[in-house]
Structure 1
Amino acid sequence: MTASTHSQTSACRHVERIQLGNRLLRRRDVELKTGKSRSSIYKGVSDGTFPAPVPIGDNSVAWLEEEIDGWIAERLAQRNTTLKNTARPEARA
Structure 2
Amino acid sequence: MPSGNRAQPRFLRLAEVLEMTGMGKTFIYARMKDGTFPKQIQLGGKSVVWSEQEVIKWMEDRMASR
TM-score normalised by L of structure 2: 0.87
Higher relative contact order (CA 8 A, sep 6+): 2
Structure of higher CA gyration radius: 1
What does residue 67 of structure 1 align with? 54
Provide the alpha-carbon RMSD of the alignment: 1.3
Using the aligned pairs only, state the percent identity: 38
Structure 2, unaligned runs of 5 or more:
1-5
The one of 9, 28, 31 equivalent to 2:18 is 31
Q: Distance in 1 between matches of 2:18 and 2:7?
A: 23
Deviations 1:58-90 (A, max 9, x none): 0011000000000000001011xxxxxxxxxxx
Count of paired positions: 61
Question: How does 1:18-57 map onto structure 2 within 5 Å?
Answer: 21-57=8-44
Structure 1, unaligned runs of 5 or more:
1-18, 80-93
The structure carrying a bigger strand percent of its residues is 2
